[in-house]
Amino acid sequence: MYNTIDIPLFITIESNALHNIKKILQKSNLHMNNPVIVTDAGKSLEYAKMVARMLRIKKSKFIMVSFNTYEEVKRVERFARNLKSDFIIGIGGGKALDIAKFASFRYGGYFLSIPTLPSHDGIASPVASIMIEGKRMSVGASMPLGILIDIDVIKNSPKRFIFSGIMDLISNVSAIEDWILAYQKGYEIRFNGFSKAIALSAAESVLNFNEKNIYNEEFLKILLNGLVLSGIAMEIAGSSRPASGSEHNFSHAFDLLYPDNTFLHGEKVGAGHLIISYLRDKNEYKKILNCFRDFGITVELKKIFEDKDKLLKVFLKAKEIRKDRYSYLNEISLNEKFYKNVIEKVSRDIFSV
Ligand SMILES: [Zn+2]
């Protein structure tokens, strides 16, 4: 038995990477004949223009996306196909990367990932989050052939986006607990120790990092490295198991019940992680809570913990979705009053900063 896995040809996380893109690609022996650039409005467009200048890509090879819908994926696919492009370069936060990686998977071209925000582990994962017929779906997509992250670009991220990335990465601790549980109980046939080791050490590199200044360059490199490794762990596992468990069910439930919410992915995942770890393992809970507190994340999380009735509804919904994907949520069958009490206690900890 063997695994076929796609590992990026190069992963560059350094200062001034956009400016040096030509050199970086040359060093990796990566030649693009006819690339297209997928990006979105705002700052990403500025970065995309810089990449285009460095690689001499014409404006006519740009395609702007505004929503991560299936229609947009097909539009990008048609665009690349009509131009007979060999590469799709995704430059942006979530949307542009999700669309670029899914479009290149469908089209068959290579994908180059240039994330401009550190808010989630989708920057290098083989999974894209796409709205299909009004529902947010996780679909299989291309692993990037290369990942280029400019730390000077990441440094410009609002702190909320960095917090979100930290929480998405640390949630691997919870996801792995669920993966092991499902495997031990026979609900999950495949378990990959290598993938687990990568995902867990990526999370712990941030969880145990002493410097809590999120704009510290060394820290940002470790965070981005961790998010990239998380994506690779999913590719090795052949599923999102190492980075998505019951805490991600919580986030999915939030989006199902409140599709217009403006919380970031990592914020919903982090809130879910706190509530679930409180129930599952008080030591895990304390460690996560202390880490969030030291980074200053708990101050931001107050917003999501303001409406406790909403959180209770989300928690009960999370127990109902993806039941086939066995997790700690399948194990607990206590009454509503008990969960209400748990949310109350976690909330008190968040507000006691
Ligand atoms: Zn996630």
CATH number of the domain to which 50 belongs: 3.40.50.1970
- Rounded Cα gap, residues 254 and 266, in angstroms: 12
Residue 1 has pLDDT above 70, yes or no: no
Same domain, 148 and 277: no
Residue finishing a domain among 154, 180, 198: 154
201 falls within a domain: yes
- As given in the structure block, the two tokens for residue 241 are 């198991």
For residue 200, the CA-to-ligand 1 centroid distance in Å is: 14
Q: What percent of the chain has pLDDT over 70?
A: 99
Residue 192 has pLDDT above 60, yes or no: yes
Same domain, 222 and 242: yes
Same domain, 167 and 188: yes
Q: How many degrees, rounded to 5, is the angle at CA 158 between CA 155 and CA 162?
A: 75
Same domain, 195 and 117: no
Same domain, 325 and 187: yes
Same domain, 205 and 282: yes
287 falls within a domain: yes
Same domain, 282 and 143: no
2 falls within a domain: no
For residue 181, the CA-to-ligand 1 centroid distance in Å is: 19
192 falls within a domain: yes
Question: What pLDDT, on the 0 to 100 scale, is given for residue 44?
Answer: 94
Same domain, 217 and 310: yes
- Rounded Cα gap, residues 281 and 228, in angstroms: 27
pLDDT (tens digit, 9 = 90+) per residue, 62-93?
A: 999 988 899 999 999 999 999 999 999 999 98
4 falls within a domain: no
- As given in the structure block, the two tokens for residue 257 are 């019940």
For residue 305, the CA-to-ligand 1 centroid distance in Å is: 19
Q: What is the mean pLDDT of the chain?
A: 94
Same domain, 147 and 214: no
Mean pLDDT along residues 295-313: 95
Same domain, 301 and 339: yes
Same domain, 205 and 314: yes
- Rounded Cα gap, residues 117 and 161, in angstroms: 7
**Residue in 46, 125, 35 with CA at minimum distance from that of residue 89:** 35
Same domain, 172 and 82: no
Residue finishing a domain among 154, 175, 199: 154
For residue 123, the CA-to-ligand 1 centroid distance in Å is: 11
For residue 133, the CA-to-ligand 1 centroid distance in Å is: 22
Residue finishing a domain among 118, 138, 154: 154
For residue 188, the CA-to-ligand 1 centroid distance in Å is: 20
For residue 263, the CA-to-ligand 1 centroid distance in Å is: 13
* Residue ranges near ligand 1 (ion) with Cβ within 5 Å: 168
Question: What pLDDT, on the 0 to 100 scale, is given for residue 94?
Answer: 86
CATH number of the domain to which 228 belongs: 1.20.1090.10
Residue 2 has pLDDT above 80, yes or no: no
283 falls within a domain: yes
- Rounded Cα gap, residues 227 and 27, in angstroms: 24
Structural domain range at position 49 = 10-154
pLDDT (tens digit, 9 = 90+) per residue, 35-70?
A: 999 999 889 999 999 999 999 999 999 999 988 899
3 falls within a domain: no
For residue 37, the CA-to-ligand 1 centroid distance in Å is: 25
pLDDT (tens digit, 9 = 90+) per residue, 216-266?
A: 999 999 999 999 999 999 999 999 999 999 999 999 999 999 989 999 999
The total number of structural domains in the chain stands at 2
